[in-house]
Amino acid sequence: MLRAATTLSTCLFASQAGTLVLTPILVEVAADFDVSTATAGQLRTISGAVAAATAIGVGYLAGRLGLNRLLIAGLLTLAFAAALSAVAPTFVVLAIAQMPLGIAIAVLLSSGVAGTTAWIHPDRRADALSAAFSGQAIAWLVGMPLVGTVGEVSWRLAWVALPLAATVPALVLAAGLPAVPRQPARLTDDLSLLARDRAVRGWWVGEALAFSGWVGLLVYSGALLIDSYGISLRLAGLLLGLMFLAYFPGSLLFRRFIDRSARRLIVVLGLSAGVVAALIGAARPGLWLTMPLLATYVFLNSGRTLAGSALGLDVAPGRSVTAMGMRASATQVGYLVGAGLGGLALHFGGYAAAGATFAALYVLAVVPHAIHALGRLAPAGR
């Protein structure tokens, strides 16, 4: 298990590195190409939209290539996108580079999580999911300070130092994974699963709404720290990385319960994270309160993420790659919706309104699970 879990964690590290690299360097990119920060922000929209579209078809790709080859293809695509971004001579070329980046993010996130069912015994699923997702937390912990430091020299170095460098150990480890039997799938079957299966659809909607709250707050967390407390980019990057230390105790604690209480964890931890999100936006007397709240937010979402992934594997048995492709699409939809709604709330009502918006998204994310619970109770009440 150890080798496979390490490999999957490294792949998710690389995927998350590609996702977060633009966050600290957006202003520098805009200044270098003489565009507005808002225009530069559309780069993340491009990769997010492409990733969301690609993720739905990952099950089909895995059936054609095999899961291990798909992981390697995703890593090579990420390396190409990072290298092209680092040397992009114009903003248009940089924008084009975000398309293969989105494809790579979707492939690595989907196949990396699905790999926990392919290379690891079912009895160790909770441990495997915890280990795999730790790669994303480590990417934040290491990546944010790293990008903040090298970004002050050149934003181009950030693409080399983080996502491009991350592909090297991941490729070495992924090449050693044993082949797994292919599960041929038709793209139409993958697309129709979401439409025809009520349990899958409810789970996907809940994940998309929860991710909108989760990553929406993360997108604006750096700006909140800088605007509220006047700290430097380097210090903001360091603090954003350090808050992800809280991910690991949360993951260790909540993985004990996901096999028997995944849906309950999703509800309790999601609502708790919503309350904390509202407090982060409204109560900002100093870093002494904001940083513990951000750490608590990460702690709660570590368990909610594990539980959401476990439930996705349960509602689509035998279709793990397809289910995790849907989860990856929900993640990217979350970036688009969370960033969009958060930006509107921030513009019209400040950080307090943004925090309340993210809290509302968590509340809405519970609705599909409440409907599911009521549906199960209905026959007994007749």
The DSSP symbol for 1 reads -
Checking if the pLDDT of 230 tops 50, the result is yes
The verdict on pTM exceeding 0.75 is yes
Rg, Å, the chain Cα set: 20
b/e sequence 99-135, b meaning 16+ C-beta within 10 Å: bbbbbbbbbbbbbbbbbbbbbbeeeebbbbbbbbbbb
- Distance between CA atoms of 67 and 43, rounded to whole angstroms? 29
CA-based diameter of the chain, in Å?
Answer: 68
Each domain of the chain, given as residue ranges in start order, spans: 2-376
Residues 331-354: tens digit of each pLDDT: 888 878 887 888 888 878 989 999
Look at 11 and 327; give whichever has higher pLDDT: 11
Checking if the pLDDT of 248 tops 70, the result is yes
Provide mean pLDDT across the span 127-143: 83
Structure tokens at 156: 């181009």
Residues 65-105: tens digit of each pLDDT: 788 888 999 999 999 999 999 999 999 999 999 999 999 99
Checking if the pLDDT of 22 tops 90, the result is no
CA distances from 151 to 28, 191, 229 (A): 8, 40, 21
Could you report how far apart the first and last alpha carbons of the chain are, in Å? 47
CATH fold of 2-376 reads Growth Hormone; Chain: A; (1.20.1250)
**How many CA within 13 A on the CB side of residue 332?**
30
| Helix and strand element counts for the chain (H, E) | 16, 0
Residues 181-223: tens digit of each pLDDT: 666 555 555 556 666 678 888 888 999 999 999 988 987 888 7
